[in-house]
Amino acid sequence: MQLQGLIDAAVAEVGSVLLGKEAQIRLALCCLFSRGHLLIEDLPGMGKTTLSHALADVLGLSWKRVQFTSDLLPADILGVSIYNRSDASFSFHPGPIFTQLLLADEINRTTPRTQSALLEAMAERQVTVEGETRPLPDPFFVIATQNPVHQSGTYPLPESQLDRFLMRLELGYPHPRAERQMFERGHNSGAERVVLARRISDEQLRQIRSRAATVHASDNLLDYLQRLVAYTRSSAEFAVGLSPRGALALLDCARTWAVMHNREHLVPEDLQMVLPAVAAHRLVPAGDYAGDGMALVELLRREVDVIRP
């Protein structure tokens, strides 16, 4: 099937600049195909910008970047109306948000006010400035990055805001072999950016999305999903379980994942593969529980059996 080859080619293309991160690349693509936004939580210099740039290239999307700072205002992102003396009217100057792929860098360094302006635009896929509503381009995809919250001078996103990101990824340090390869190639930050070839056309993107909507989810699978969700809500280790929105996000991503792996029905692996990225940031451990969201996902995966016992 050509779709499979298409996606493999796209992954390989991105992988040529972001070495040894195939799993994260696939998840990022999955998030994009599922019309979601992506939050990358990692230290600086791990390849967040490279990833977003590469994704924009292979999908042929327009790309903009906003560096979030503590004095950034909503208007700096959304745009402003400026009085134009020549024709005596206000004209709207769109902000950087009017792009197909926006890299919102270090989103937790700006004030909650600006954060919520971005998040609102992400959810609505439109911007209302001075009473006028302007739609954002389609596809619209935000990759926000966040420093690990223990760094000082940050406004960590509250759980309710985290829920708006379909996935959260951690890139992590590269594999030693990949890092060695990187050294040998001699990439450095000052060099000219490598522009990647476009691999997926708008038509193909639409096709992927429409196919994802038709992926079959059997009773057994929905049952498994429901047991997963029920476990997060009833088990003592969880302070906050998965919301219905979280459960739907899980199902949507799993469907896209199935399409990406050329299947017309969902299997439990699909759910399990997207589970850490989709669920970890939506789960809050109970006060006594020593682990974080990832540990909770691991617990969930272990405790809820695929086949009803």
Partner 1 sequence: MNPGQQIPRNALVWIILCLFTLVAPHAGRLPVWVLAVYLFAAAWRTMVYQGRWSFPGRLVKAGLTIASCVGIYLSYGSLIGLEPTIALLLTAFALKLIELHQRKDAYVLLFLGYFICITEFLFSQDLPMVAYALVNVILVTTALVALHRPGEHQFNRKTVRLASILVLQSLPLMLVLFFLFPRIGPLWTVPIKSHTARTGVSDFMRPGDISRLGKSDEVAFRVQFEGAIPPPSALYWRGLVFSRQEEGAWRSLRYYDIPPAERRQAPVATPGEPLSYRVIMEPTQQNWLYSLRYARSESPGVMSSADFLLFSPGVLEDERMYQVHSWPEAVLDPTLTDWRREMELRLPPGENPQALALARQLRAAAIDDAQLVDAVLAMFTEQSFGYTLEPPLLPMDNQVDAFLFDSRRGFCEHFASAFVTLMRAAGVPARVVAGYQGGEINPLNRTVIVHQFDAHAWAEVWLEGEGWVRVDPTAAVSPQRIEWGLEQAMQAEGTFLSDSPLSPLRYRGINWLNTLRLRYDDLTWRWQSWVVGFDRERQFQLLNTVFDGISARKFMLVLLASGLLVLGPVAFSLLWRARRRDTSEADRCYLLFCERLARAGVVREAGEPPGRFAARAAAQLREAGDEICRITGLYEQLAYAGDTSPQRQQAALLALRRAVRRFRSNPRTA
In the complex with partner 1, the residue whose CB is nearer, 132 or 292, is 292
Report the C-alpha gap between 98 and 79 in whole angstroms.
9
Q: Which of these ranges, 28-36, 42-50, 144-152, 290-298, lies near partner 1 under the rule CB under 8 A?
A: 290-298
Pairing of strands 132-135, 141-146: unpaired
Nearest distance in Å: CB 184, partner 1: 33
Peptide bond into 139 cis (omega under 30): yes
Q: How far is the CB of 215 from partner 1 (least distance, A)?
A: 10
The nearer residue to partner 1, 120 or 223, going by C-beta atoms, is 223
Closest approach of Cβ 264 to partner 1, in Å? 7
User: What is the rounded distance in angstroms from the CA atom of residue 67 to the CA atom of residue 49?
Assistant: 11
The helix (H) or strand (E) run that includes residue 105 is strand 101-105
Distance (Å, rounded) from C-alpha 119 to C-alpha 121?
5
Residues 214-233 that bind partner 1 (CB under 8 A): 216-221
Nearer Cβ to partner 1, position 77 or 297? Answer: 297
20 contacts partner 1 (rule: CB under 8 A): no
Sequence-ordered strand ranges (E) for the chain: 38-41, 63-67, 79-84, 89-94, 101-105, 126-129, 132-135, 141-146, 167-169, 238-240, 284-285
85 part of the interface to partner 1, by CB under 8 A? no
Select 124 or 264, whichever has its Cβ closest to partner 1: 264
Which span (123-131, 149-157, 166-174, 289-297) binds partner 1, by CB under 8 A? 289-297
Per CB under 8 A, 131 contacts partner 1: no
| Beta carbons within 8 Å of 227's beta carbon, 6+ residues apart | 304, 308
Residue 262, interface with partner 1 (CB under 8 A)? no
* Separation of alpha carbons 290 and 286, rounded Å: 8
CB of 73 to partner 1, least distance (A): 41
- CA 234, distance to chain mean position in Å, is 28
Contacting positions for partner 1 (CB under 8 A): 216-221, 236-237, 239, 264-269, 272, 286-291, 295, 299, 301-308
